Structure 1
Amino acid sequence: MATEGDKNLQIVIVPGNGAGEVTCANWYGWLARKLKDAGIRCQLQNMPDPITAKESIWLPFMEKELGCDEHTIIVGHSSGAEAAMRYAETHKVYGIVLVSPCVTDLGIENERASGYYNRPWEWQKIKSNTKFIAQFGSTDDPFIPWSEQEEVATGLDSNLFKFSDKGHFMQFQFPELLKYLLSVIKNRS
């Protein structure tokens, strides 16, 4: 599916904190395999500092090790969504896809320690550094209140895919996300 003009395009999956071996966690490995089978470059790696997911560690890793740049679609889940948003505040990327994002530390000390929530979100900078922003959220997410997910959607004018039965998107397959990514790549050509 990837055309000659797409040879630089890559998708980088940034997991949520605490995911363990990411190729076996949630839908991450499944999505990476499906994208590679479709001829699309995709990176999925265990992140450094996987429990706290510190911004000061994850963002440099995304730049230096994962090579996130203007030819990258970052797919971030949970803490990975916050990393994608903060990354896009200061770096040009092709697009970001946010799964279960939030805007506050939710009163959780470990989340507070990550560093993502200690200042206002720079929505305009994120929008100006991306060609598109999509978001997947579920009203029955047991960790992220819907009001937080709506705040992200409003701040970023994201293309919001709203569900009521996906929880925190911890299933082992995510066909809706795969279909969306394939359509973005197809329409890019």
Structure 2
Amino acid sequence: MVAARAIIFHGTGGSPDVCWYPWLAERLKGRGYTVEVPHYPAINVEPIATFLPRVLNGHRFDEDTVLVGHSGGAALLLALLEHVDVTVAQAILVAGYCTPPNAEEEPVLQPSYDWAAIRSHVRDIYFVNSREDPYGCDDRQGRAMFEQLGGTQIVRDDGHFGDYDQPYDQFELLDRLIP
């Protein structure tokens, strides 16, 4: 059964029209998904405590929803999954992190997480990280989340999976992971 909805969250300083986001959106639409790729310039700029309510109120989440987040968007998924009031079908955190990955400010992170609540709000979760990520969103970050939440950790050697200096227009792995 194809899930009804997919929401793709871009990373810090990103937008819906960069990296693999438009490509994945089109692939999923072709399979019958309703796809949202919202633009959130305040992601990882505004503190999560004030930013998260707008995200929660700006979208509809149900048991057929698939969530995909990249970098800061993946970190956002942790807070979203903790506070959403339904169990979604799937979440894929690409270059995600749960603790500060470098010396930069990370307003998208909560001070702590209710891992049991996050686990209870997603049926299937993937962590896709690289061994060498220029921002520190690496396999150790993926492992830290995997150890708390279970699911599946996938480790690649693909940098940040798209960035200003890393063209990454397609992401076949994500297309295969989403039913």
* TM-score of Structure 1 vs Structure 2, range by shorter chain: 0.7 to 0.9
- Between Structure 1 and Structure 2, the one with more helix by share is 1
Q: SS in structure 2 opposite 1:131?
A: strand
**What is the aligned partner in structure 2 of residue 141 from structure 1?**
133
Normalised to the residue count of structure 1, the TM-score between the two structures is 0.81
Distance 2:128 2:43 in 1: 22
| 1:177 equivalent in structure 2 | 174
Unaligned runs of 5+ in 2: 163-167
Alpha-carbon distance in 1 for matches of 2:129, 2:46? 21
1:117 Cα offset (Å): 3.6
Deviations 1:64-85 (A, max 9, x none): 2222333311101111111111
| Counterpart in the other structure of 1:128 | 120
One-letter amino acid matched to 1:127: R
Take 2:139 and 2:42, find their aligned partners in 1: how far apart are those partners? 27
Aligned to 2:65: 72
Matching residue of 2:20? 27
Give how far 1:54 is off.
3.6
Query: Cα deviation per residue 1:125-149 (whole Å; 9 max; x = unaligned)?
Result: 1111111111111112121243222
TM superposition score normalised by structure 2: 0.85
Matched position secondary structure for 2:155: strand
Equivalent position of 2:150 in the other structure:
157
Identity of aligned residues (%): 27
User: For structure 1, which runs of at least 5 residues remain unmatched after alignment?
Assistant: 185-189
CA contact (8 A) 1:48 1:58 kept: no
Distance between the aligned counterparts of 2:145 and 2:81, measured in 1?
14
> What do you get for the CA RMSD once the two structures are aligned?
2.0
- For residues 152 and 23 of structure 2, the distance between their equivalents in structure 1, rounded to whole angstroms, comes to 23
Counterpart among 76, 79, 103 of residue 108 in structure 1: 103
1:103, 1:161 → 2: CA distance? Answer: 16
- Residue 103 of structure 1 deviates from its aligned partner by 1.6
User: Could you tell me whether the CA contact under 8 Å between 2:74 and 2:93 is conserved in 1?
Assistant: yes
State how far apart, in whole Å, the 1-side matches of 2:82 and 2:58 are: 19
Count of matched residue pairs: 171
